[in-house]
Amino acid sequence: MTVRIGIIGTGAIGRDHARRIKQVLAGGRIVALTDVNRSLARAVRADIAPDAAIYATGEELIAAGDVDAVLVTSWGATHEQYVLASIAAGKPCFCEKPLATTAEGAKRIVEAETAFGRRLVQVGFMRRYDAGYVALKEAIARHTGAPILVHAAHRNPSVPEAYVTPMAIHDTLIHEIDVLRWLLDDDYVSARVHYPRNAARAHAKLRDPQVVVLETRKGVLIDVEIFVNCHYGYDIQCEIVGEDGIARLPEPMAIEMRLGAKLQNAILTDWKDRFVVAYDVELQDFLKAAAGGTAAGPSSWDGYVAAITSDACVAAQESAGAAVAITMPDKPSLYS
């Protein structure tokens, strides 16, 4: 079956997902587009999906009779309303992170999906599909022994002026929040945030870098450096320290060069390139499940837990290094 897809939000990642549905993946066809900036939707139609209809609003797109499944790739603050509308229409929905910008919003989605009685939502936590993280999970299971510490870093070369301090959590750390919980098969119990002096390139409304320290139920201590004006590249690091040994996330493949008396490896600069294959695999997974009228992969529950943790981390940003407790509710059986 070919899944007929509608895309809400045709900016950076919406356009990139449209490209992969058209050029890379099997089983999906884009039939509908919408963006509050109509010219972006028109550009995607012209370049990628010439047969797609353009709708005035996300709600109209979701209600369209020929839309089988929905991609929500608009700004984070708009995700909740479209995911809820997709669930109400009984249509599978792939939602980019964050599932919702507050834990309360994510909870409403969990409740709606649970009441519907079948999984319909996949959250865009693509790192779970990255071959490096999959290998790291395997290494934890087979080689390192039980994890004790995790050292991680999430570095972006630069961010716009509109990126402010809490976004380091909601927009950036949220990937580590999800993938580390999945890697460790664990949940968080507390968060702390520490700041060194501000980097010279940080904007006026941004503390950068930040170090978030998370503690898990099993007693693992995690430190994550978030540095979004690191300048030199897009760099994702993760090291697990276990009872028997250490495992590190592999670097992306890069040609090693000997040039001008230097040994060199290029470092990527763009998230689109760093996780290009992971995005392909996650969306293929979505298309496969959507063909059967359901969803797989990272769930609304995972999006909800990430939102609870994000909220605690944002509170910790204001707590002068003091720990903020994180309490997880009971998981509904739909997500076991």
Q: Give residues in contact with ligand ISE (CB under 6 A).
A: 156, 171-172, 175, 271
If binding is defined by CB under 6 A, does position 130 make contact with ligand NAI? no
When CB distances are held under 5 to 8 angstroms depending on the partner's kind, the choice from ligand NAI, ligand ISE, none that residue 172 binds is: ligand ISE
| Residues 220/148, Cβ–Cβ less than 8 Å | yes
Residues written for the chain:
336
Cα–Cα distance measured from residue 304 to residue 184, given in angstroms and rounded to the nearest whole number:
18
For 200, residues 6+ apart whose C-beta sits below 8 A from its C-beta are none
Main-chain phi, psi angles of 2, to 5 degrees: -95, 125
If binding is defined by CB under 6 A, does position 40 make contact with ligand NAI? yes
* Count of beta carbons in the 10 Å neighbourhood of residue 255: 7
The closest alpha carbon to 60, from 78, 100, 42, 33, belongs to 33
If binding is defined by CB under 6 A, does position 96 make contact with ligand NAI? yes
* Count of beta carbons in the 10 Å neighbourhood of residue 219: 11
If binding is defined by CB under 6 A, does position 12 make contact with ligand NAI? yes
Which CB, 133 or 271, lies closer to ligand ISE? 271
Number of residues lying near ligand NAI (CB under 6 A): 24
Helix, coil or strand: residue 162: coil
When CB distances are held under 5 to 8 angstroms depending on the partner's kind, the choice from ligand ISE, ligand NAI, none that residue 156 binds is: ligand ISE
> Which residue sits closest to ligand ISE, CB atoms considered?
172
| Residues 314/163, Cβ–Cβ less than 8 Å | no
Cis peptide before 250 (omega within 30 of 0): no
Which CB, 128 or 175, lies closer to ligand ISE? 175
Q: What is the DSSP letter of 26?
A: S
CB of 91 to ligand NAI, least distance (A): 16
Which CB, 11 or 27, lies closer to ligand ISE? 11
Q: Which of residues 282-301 bind ligand NAI (CB under 6 A)?
A: none
In angstroms, the Cα distances linking 74 to 29, 169, 331 are: 19, 18, 28
Tokens of 181: 């919980």
If binding is defined by CB under 6 A, does position 270 make contact with ligand NAI? no
CB of 14 to ligand NAI, least distance (A): 6
Which CB, 170 or 192, lies closer to ligand NAI? 170
CB of 32 to ligand NAI, least distance (A): 12
If binding is defined by CB under 6 A, does position 36 make contact with ligand NAI? yes
Contacts to ligand NAI by CB under 6 A: 8-14, 34-37, 40, 58, 73-76, 78, 96-97, 124, 126, 171, 271
